[in-house]
Amino acid sequence: MLTFTLRRLLIAIPTLLASAIVIFALLQLAPGDPMANVPLTVPPEVKQKMREALGLGEPVHIQFWKWLVQFFWIEPQVLIDNIFGTSFAEGKLRVLSWQTRSPVMDIVMQRMPQTLWVVGTSYLVGIIIALPIGIYSAYRQYSVFDQAGTFISMVGYSVPTFFTGVLLIVIFSVNMPRESFFWFPSIYDTTHQVDSWSAFGFQVRQMFLPVMVLALYNAAQISRFMRASMLDNLNQDYVRTARAKGLGESIVVMVHVLRNSLIPVVTVIALGVPQVFGGAIITEQVFKVNGLGHLLIGAIEANDLPMVQTLTFIFAVLIVLFNLIADVLYGILDPRIRYD
């Protein structure tokens, strides 16, 4: 197992390097100009000077090399400095955003908690809703519950979040009276700090709408996997054996079948984790949650290449990493699988 993990980690290096080059090339080839949002009243010569100040005049390969050095050499030093209070990175040029002229990683660290809170909670809520629905739907296949579950998960899966999000805002923020218990804010207050129980209550309320929108979507997906996996196992010979031994129905389903059915579901859940970090781009936009997805969209609109490059690369790292974790988990959960 250890050698397998190490081998995979080594293979990840060229994979990530290749994806960094692809991302960089795509961004270079894409049309657009970081000065496009500057008003037309600013004359072209001034815009040209502003572009040069951003380092846009340099040859492409030098821009890429600079980014590599800044991301892999200088940023880790900044991290070490922050943890141990050293000063390795002092005076060195970090990856700077073109929009804000400030270090990209600082903004990423600032945005990460919101994304983890909102999108992470919705992922957890989604899993908690999805597993029981999937299990029961499979156990009572074609029952009314199963049909209803199938219908709801189809709706959740196929209706886009920009629709459900706005729908919930219209119902719970616009039409609901402000004094009502069921009124929820439509705009996420990113300055809110949880320092008391009432503040925690407000945090729950403002997270409610975005979390519900995303949980519906996640639950729909995972419950379908859970159901299919349960169905596969329910017809297996070992289930018949267990029943023949005289085991109770609850033990047969909840211990024997569920354990085996969870193996592929855990993999699917692990593979979905990078999406949590990636933020739910659309939902964050609808509710103004200042997470990573919100940051990425803003950076794309403003042609802030260093920001887009860094964010997409971080997502690439996470995807590679969680693929590895899913593979390793699979080996741990299922003793039939051997990697060595």
290 binds other proteins (CB under 8 A): yes
177 binds other proteins (CB under 8 A): no
Cβ 306 vs Cβ 67: under 8 Å? yes
218 binds other proteins (CB under 8 A): no
Instruction: Indicate the residue among 33 and 249 with the shorter CB distance to other proteins.
Output: 33
99 binds other proteins (CB under 8 A): yes
Cβ 93 vs Cβ 299: under 8 Å? no
Q: How far is the CB of 139 from other proteins (least distance, A)?
A: 43
93 binds other proteins (CB under 8 A): yes
Positive or negative: CA dihedral 148, 150, 155, 156: positive
From the list 80-88, 136-144, 190-198, 227-235, the region that binds other proteins by CB under 8 A is 190-198
Q: What is the DSSP string of 14-66?
A: HHHHHHHHHHHHHHHHS---TTTTS-TTS-HHHHHHHHHHTTTTS-HHHHHHH
The torsion of the CA quartet 50, 53, 56, 62, rounded to 10 degrees, works out to 180
29 binds other proteins (CB under 8 A): no
From the list 140-148, 188-196, 236-244, 266-274, the region that binds other proteins by CB under 8 A is 188-196
Q: Collapse the DSSP code of 212 into the 3-class scheme (helix H, G, I; strand E, B; otherwise coil) and give the result.
A: helix
195 binds other proteins (CB under 8 A): yes
Instruction: Indicate the residue among 209 and 320 with the shorter CB distance to other proteins.
Output: 209
Cβ 28 vs Cβ 20: under 8 Å? no
179 binds other proteins (CB under 8 A): no
Task: Give the CA distances from residue 251 to residues 16, 227, 256, in Å, rounded to whole numbers and listed in that order.
Answer: 45, 18, 7
Cβ 186 vs Cβ 264: under 8 Å? no
Cα–Cα distance, 313 to 118 (Å, whole number): 22
100 binds other proteins (CB under 8 A): yes
Residues that bind other proteins (rule: CB under 8 A) add up to a total of 60
Applying the rule CB under 8 A, the residues between 38 and 77 that interact with other proteins are 38-54
Q: How far is the CB of 181 from other proteins (least distance, A)?
A: 16
Positions in the binding site for other proteins (CB under 8 A): 31-33, 35-54, 93, 96-97, 99-103, 106-107, 110-111, 169, 173-174, 178, 185-187, 189-193, 195-196, 199, 285-286, 288, 290, 294-295, 298, 301-303
